[in-house]
Structure 1
Amino acid sequence: MNANYENDLEMPYSELELKRWGYTHWRCLLDGTVVAVAPMSISNGRLFWNVHQDGYEDFYCYDSVELAVTSMMEFDPTTQLEPLGWHRHGSTGRRRPGGDMTKEYINK
């Protein structure tokens, strides 16, 4: 499901490509960054950052696919540095129990 906002750019990949790569929802941000959601394990969802044909640059883990999709849809790159509601950030090891940013810690 392509989730374009009024200010999003045109998606550089086809729906067929994105589905073949395992993504269920996606959008292309104003700066050209492609973000996409894929289901992980039994019920968790993952929001992938800077998706391309060889993989992705980073990811955020969520308690469900629905939470990941909601976070992707609500993310506004003009006012936010990163999406909200995640419980694990892949590249930094940061954790946020229950998606709560006030409880953030780094898992080393």
Structure 2
Amino acid sequence: SFIGPSGCGKTTLLRVIADLEKPTSGTISVNGMTAEQAREKRAYGYVFQAAALFPWRTIERNVGLPLEIMGLSRAEQGERIKRTLDLVNLSGFEKKYPWQLS
């Protein structure tokens, strides 16, 4: 977690770590790699503050989208989706759409 007042550089630091911006000086290591290497190897996850769900995809398919992009097998996707939904107490809502949840 990064905690600090507005404008102190929290978002900028996260953007540098995610290789969305280059540092103006110094170096940065992400899991023992450069930020670019870590991004290319998908060595971390990044959740944007204003995350959005695709309204035309079910909860299950929204959760599974990054797994599809990563090329995981359908079996692995299903297992991870189930674990993730269990973790956030959304089991049973897999086939619902975002607008159907409060």
TM-score normalised according to structure 2 size: 0.22
Q: Which has the higher helix share?
A: 2
Q: Which has the larger radius of gyration?
A: 2
Q: Which has the higher contact order (CA 8 A, sep 6+)?
A: 2
Q: Which has the higher strand share?
A: 1
